Structures are given as structure tokens and as C-alpha cells.
Amino acid sequence: MAFFTKKLGIDLGTANTLVFLPGRGIVLNEPSVVAVSEIDNKILAVGLEAKDMIGKTPDSIIAYRPMKDGVIADYRVTEAMLRYYINKALGRWHFFKPEVMVSVPAGVTSTERRAVIEAAVKAGAKNAYVVKEPILAAIGAGISIQEAIGHMIVDIGGGTTDVAVISLGGIVASTSVKCAGNRIDQAIAEYIKKTYNLAIGDKTAEDIKIKIGSAVPLEGVDELSMTIKGRDFLTGLPRAVEIKTNEVVKSIAKELREMIKAIKDVLQETPPELASDIIDHGIMMTGGSSQLRNLPELVFRRTGVKAALADDALYCVAKGTGVALEHLDTYKKSIISKR
């Protein structure tokens, strides 16, 4: 019978949802966005189609993200989104309900955890397991978490920054702050509003972050620039301005400080033996937003511990769910049960 039970790993993120099928790898990577028509409360589009609608919809259609800060903000919509992703990943002709493993932030409460499990079961899962993100990120980054060695993982996504020290398959010290990629986007939009009197959308702010953003100032020729277009606050007319990397660095300084503080807090809670391991091995950075230029460099400057970006940082958690599903027994300890 084992052959028929499909297993699925879902990295249910604030910004993106990834689905992992053991044996096939990541089969789906789409934005966690749902477009709902207000008139009859119907779900019109999910994922990529819905993301294109953000900031461009008429009044009767709302495109929004049902996950806020890594946890479920809108239950019904999250369930519909999960159902859509599960069906899309398994194809139309699946008759057997899959076993699903979903990632949750390290600081998740038991109520929030139950909401995730219920949403997954209602969306068509036979069983749902939830595992804390830093553990999955560590597995996905290729760290053997079962050893008696301390590893520090910093997982920066769209809604949360999860920092954890892992040893012997469990979390020794951790914190989760609701300051990550989305907050950086907002800070950039705020700065442009104040400095240039220009209104830009979330999508443009994210483009700026990806194309020219950096965690530390760049010198001379290395500095990048880009032209952004938005609406002038005073005249109300469209206008374009040029913006440089170091302005972006300045605009997101406060958010970066908050992330660094989270890392320092966890380092201060870490038992001395594990702290010495962390100095040897460095800090492993995973998650989409840890791809911000020079972020590992900033972490090194502020903490004195060298930091490295994991390979495929965006996919670490999803890959981790895949590995954990294939070796459920090995990881039993770090897995939080079905109900």
C-alpha cells in the first residue's frame, strides 16, 4: 500500500509557497497570493496569476496574502490555497490522500499550529505534520542535525526571520521576529515617499531590493542604480526617478538592525559549548530574503561570527521537508504530531 500514499512537503511562506515531492524535487514555487472577487466571495486566481493582479485590481476584486508574518491570517483562503497547490502538485487523477508536511515559524503558538494542521487536512491531506522552519532549513542546507554539534540557522523569509541554534535534532535556543523581506520592501517604499514624494507599489519596492539593494554600503564604481516609476504625491502624475544602492542601504538600516538583534539575542542564550561550535562552523543563512547582497558580510561585522549563504537559499526549507518525509522515523523527535 505504501506505494499509493503520496507524500508532499509544503513550505507555506508569507511570500511564496513551495511544494516538494520526494523523488521529483520541487514541483511548484508560486507566490502565496489569492485573488478573491468581493461580490460572490469566489476565489478567482491563486499563485502567479494572482500576484500579477496585486495593486492592479478593480474594486470588486481583492488580491491578498492569506499568510501574515508566517502564520495564517485568513483561514478560509489559506485552505483554498493549500487545496489548489496540493491538487496542482499531484495532478488531477490522485485518488489517495497525501501525507503532508508543512513548515511553521519557530515562534508559532499551539493555536496557530493547529490552524495549519486543520487547514491542510481540510484541503485534502490524509495526515499533516508540522515542523519548525529552522530545523527544515538546516536539513535542506545539508547540515546533519542529529549530531551533538551546535549549528546556527538564520532563516529570513517574507514575513519572519527565524534564528535557531540546533543540536541533537532539536532547537536549543531560538527566536522569531516579524521583520523580514516584506518589512524591507515597506521601508524602501516609505523612504521613496519621503525623499522623492513618489508613491510606488509593493512590487516595485521588491524589484528595487532585488536589483540594487545591499546590506552594507557599496563603494564608488560598484554602486548600482535603477530608474523607478511611480505616482508623484504632489501633482498626482506619473514620474520616474533614479535611485542608488546606498540610498536603499540607508532606508533599510532599521529593519536590518532588528534582524541582527535577533541573531545576537539567540547567541546570548546559547550554552557556551555550543557557542564554540558556532564560531567554528559559522552561521548558515537560508530563506529568500537572506539573498540580499552582502547580508552575510553585515552579520559577520555585527556579530564577529562568519556567516555563509546556503546553496539554493530559497529552497532549503522545501528540500528539508522532502528529506524529513523520506526519513520520518529519524526525524520523529523534531516533528510535531498530526493532530
The arithmetic mean of pLDDT across residues 102-122, rounded, is 88
- Per DSSP, the three-state class of 133 is helix
Residue 2: the pLDDT is 47
**For residue 338, is pLDDT > 60?**
no
Summary count for the chain: helices (H), strands (E): 11, 19
- Return the pLDDT at 107: 80
Cell match 520616474: residue? 240
With beta carbons less than 8 A apart as the criterion, state whether 329 and 13 touch: no
* Stronger pLDDT, 229 or 338, i.e. the higher one: 229
pTM of the model: 0.88
Q: Please, what's the b/e burial string for 100-122 (b: 16 or more CB within 10 A of its CB; e: otherwise)?
A: bbbbbbbbbeeeebebbbbbbbb
Domains of the chain: 7-136+316-336 (3.30.420.40), 148-179+256-313 (3.30.420.40), 181-251 (3.90.640.10)
What proportion of the chain, given as a percentage, has pLDDT over 90? 54
Per-residue pLDDT tens over the stretch 198-227: 999 888 999 999 999 999 999 988 899 999
- Whole-Å CA distances, 181 to 178, 188, 328: 10, 11, 31
The residue ranking higher by pLDDT, 259 or 144, is: 259
Once rounded to an integer, what is the mean pLDDT over residues 178-200? 95
Instruction: Collapse the DSSP code of 308 into the 3-class scheme (helix H, G, I; strand E, B; otherwise coil) and give the result.
Output: strand
**Paired residues of 201 in beta bridges:** none
* CA-based nearest residue to 216, from 296, 304, 308: 296
